[in-house]
Homo-oligomer: A and B are copies of this chain.
Amino acid sequence: MEIAAGIDFGGTSAKVGLVDKSGRILAKDSLLLNSRESFEGIVEPVAQCLRGLLAGSSAQQGLAAIGIGTPGFIDKNEGVLIGGCENIPALQRRSVQKYLGNAFGVPAFAENDATSAAAGELAFGAGRKFSSFVLITLGTAIGGGLVLGGRVYRGYRGFAGEIGHLCVNPDGLWCNCGSRGCFEQYASGTAMARVYGEKLRKRGREPEAELTPKIIVEKAREGDELARDTIEETGRWIAQAFGSLLNVLDLEACIVGGGVSEAGDILLSPIRRHLPDHCWPQICQGVQIVAAELRNDAGILGAAAQAFERLEA
- A residues within 8 Å of B by Cβ? 73, 82-84, 131-132, 144, 146, 148, 153-163, 165-170, 177-180, 240, 243-245, 247-252, 277-283
Contact = CB atoms under 8 A, between A and B. Distances in A.
A243 B280 contact: no
Tell me the number of copies of this protein. Answer: 2
A146 B170 CA distance: 24
A82 to B, nearest CB: 6
7 contacts: A83-B282, A132-B156, A146-B249, A148-B153, A159-B282, A165-B244, A178-B277
Given A248-B162, A250-B160, A243 B282 contact: no
Q: Which of A84, A166, A243, A277 has the most CB of B within 10 A?
A: A166
B252 A156 contact: yes
A167 B238 CA distance: 12
B162 A283 contact: yes
Contacts of A154: 250
A42 to B, nearest CB: 21
A97 to B, nearest CB: 18
The 8 A-B pairs at the shortest CB distance, nearest first, are namely A155-B250, A160-B250, A162-B247, A159-B250, A165-B247, A156-B252, A132-B156, A166-B244
Nearest to A178: B281
Nearest to A153: B148
A168 B167 contact: yes
A131 B156 contact: yes
